[in-house]
Amino acid sequence: MSDFKEFFSKNADSYANSESHKKGGDLLQLVTEITPSRTDVAIDLASGTGFTAVGLSPHVSRVVAFDGTKEMLDKARALAEENGIENIEFAIGDVMQLPYGDNTFDVATCRRAAHHFTDKKKFLAETFRVLKKGGRIGLVDMAVPESDQDNVFNHIEIIRDPSHVAAEKVETWKALMKYAGFKLLKTLTSEEEYTVEKWLSPVKMDSNEGRELQRYLTVTPEDKLLNGNINRKKGTILKERFVIIAEKP
C-alpha cells in the first residue's frame, strides 16, 4: 500500500471538482441526520477538500476541518473563502492520533474516507475520546456488498487507488462502533451506479491502473464480479454507501 498522501496530493484538483463529493445525497443525509445545533463545535475528520465541513458550517458554531494532506486542505480553505465562510478552522494530522483533549467536540463527521484508515478501531476510539457525552458521530463510507465473499470490491478499489486499505460491510461497521462504546441511532443506505470509466476517475482508463482493472474484469469469473456489484456486460459498478449516526452515551 502506498502512502495516501501521494494519491491525494496529486489528485486534489479532481476531488475538489467532483460533483459526487460536492453534491452527493449522502452529504445532505449526513448533515440532516446528525442534527447539528448552532452552539455545537464540530470536527470533520479526513475532511479532504472540505465539502462536509462547508456543509456543516451554517448549522454549528465552529468546525475543524482535519485532514492528513496539505494539498486537500488547501482546496478546502479555498472553498471556504470562495463561499465567505469564516467559522472553519483547518488542521493537519492523523485521525488515529487526534491532537485534542477529551470531551472537546459536540459533533464528529467522517465522509467517504474511512476505507483509507489502517486502524479503524483506533480511529473510532479517538473519535469517542474527543467527543463530549451526548456527542454524535456521523460516518459515511462505501460498503462492501454482503454477497461479496471473495473481496472483489476491495480488490478493484486497490487497483484504482493503492492507498485504499479496506471498505467494510455495514454490519461490520456497526459492530466496530458498538465496540468503541457508541450507541447506534440510525443507519441509512443508498446505491449509486457508475460506468467503469466514471468510477475509475480521477484515474484514467489508459493508465497502468486502468489497464490492470480491465484485465482483472476480463479474467475474473462473472459470478464473482456480480457478487461484488460489478456487471461486466453492462460495464457498470454499483457502489453501496451508508450513513451511520451514533452517540457517545
CA distance 68 to 218: 35
pLDDT tens digits along 46-86: 999 999 999 999 999 999 999 998 998 999 999 999 999 99
CB atoms inside a 10 Å sphere around CB 170: 18
Phi–psi pair at 187, nearest 5 degrees:
-130, 125
234: closest CA among 200, 191, 193, 206? 193
Tell me the domains of the chain and their CATH numbers. Answer: 4-144+163-191+239-247 (3.40.50.150)
Which of the 8 DSSP states describes residue 40? Answer: -
Residue ranges of the chain whose pLDDT lies below 70: 1-24
How far out from the chain centre does Cα 74 lie? 18
Look-up of cell digits 496530493: 9
Question: CA 222, CA 224: separation in Å to the nearest integer?
Answer: 5
Following CA atoms 158, 160, 162, 166 in sequence, which dihedral angle do they give, to the nearest 10 degrees? -30
Per-residue pLDDT, 163: 86
pLDDT at 25: 82
**35-54 as b/e: b if 16+ CB within 10 A:** ebeeebbbbbbbbbbbbbbb
- Residue 184, classed as helix, strand or coil, is strand
Per-residue model confidence as pLDDT tens digits over 90-106: 999 999 999 999 999 99
User: What's the rounded Cα separation, in Å, for the pair 88 and 239?
Assistant: 30
Letter string b/e over residues 176-185, b meaning 16 or more CB atoms within 10 A of that residue's CB: bbeebebeee
Contact 247, 135 (CB under 8 A): yes
Asked whether the beta carbons of 110 and 45 are under 8 A apart, the reply is yes
Within the chain, how many helices (H) and strands (E) appear?
12, 8
Nearest of 196, 194, 184, 200 to residue 242 by alpha carbon = 184
What's the pLDDT score for residue 54? 96
Surface-to-core class of residue 127, CB atoms within 10 Å of its CB (0-12 exposed, 13-18 middle, 19+ buried): buried
State whether residue 248 is helix, strand or coil: coil
